Amino acid sequence: MNISILYGTETGNAEMLAEDIQSELEGDHDVSCQNLSDVDPMSLVPEHLYLLVCSTYGDGELPASAQPFAEAMEAAKPDLSAIHFAIFGMGDSEYDETFNHGPKRLAELMLAHGATQIGERVAHDASGPEMAEDLAFPWAEEIISQAEERLGAAA
């Protein structure tokens, strides 16, 4: 399967996790990994499964590197109805009222432009006991098997 991991980060935690997911999946799939700041929302393609990894900053806002992507999406209003994505969030439950609101916003933005979400949004908590990769690897496996069922292994 063609997998594009796209990350939105402020201090680099989501970038590290995205690279870890890439290494984990590389043996079985064609995987690329890019910063959302370098991605044009008009360039997304139906042949790829998009795994978004995104943190939260400020008061429940998108991290800096996801903001240009979100702005470009709002400006260009691309039709993403052929696009499939899944999303993994990173946040901190110390910010209880806005816990993982960044990835929530990003998912809503994708959905608002017609994209199809696969699986549940899973959230890592920087104040919790788990390592992000211990949540993210099983999440990625599960997403891929769901995607293979829906899109066919040929994707």
Ligand X SMILES: Cc1cc2nc3c(=O)[nH]c(=O)nc-3n(C[C@H](O)[C@H](O)[C@H](O)COP(=O)(O)O)c2cc1C
- Interaction site with ligand X (CB under 6 A): 9-14, 55-60, 63, 90-92, 95, 98-101, 126
Hey, how many other C-beta atoms are within 10 angstroms of the C-beta on 32? Answer: 12
- Cα angle 146-148-154, degrees, rounded to a multiple of 5: 170
Residue from 71, 127, 141, 149 binding another protein (CB under 8 A) = 127
Residue 9 has what DSSP assignment?
Answer: -
Tell me which of another protein, ligand X, none is bound by residue 64, counting a contact when its beta carbon lies within the kind-specific cut-off of 5 to 8 angstroms: another protein
Segment interacting with another protein (CB under 8 A) among 6-14, 24-32, 71-79, 107-115: 6-14
Tell me which of ligand X, another protein, none is bound by residue 85, counting a contact when its beta carbon lies within the kind-specific cut-off of 5 to 8 angstroms: none
- Cα angle 43-147-30, degrees, rounded to a multiple of 5: 60
Q: Which residue in the shown chain puts its C-beta closest to ligand X?
A: 91
Among residues 39, 46, 47, 43, the alpha carbon closest in space to that of 9 is found at: 39
Q: Is 32 in the site for another protein (CB under 8 A)?
A: no
Tell me which of another protein, ligand X, none is bound by residue 4, counting a contact when its beta carbon lies within the kind-specific cut-off of 5 to 8 angstroms: none
Secondary element (H or E) of residue 136? helix 132-151
In the complex with ligand X, the residue whose CB is nearer, 86 or 90, is: 90
Torsion angles phi and psi, residue 9, rounded to 5:
-145, 160
Query: Residue 125: what residue type?
Result: D
Footprint of another protein on this chain (CB under 8 A)? 10-13, 16, 57-59, 64, 92, 94-95, 97, 125-127
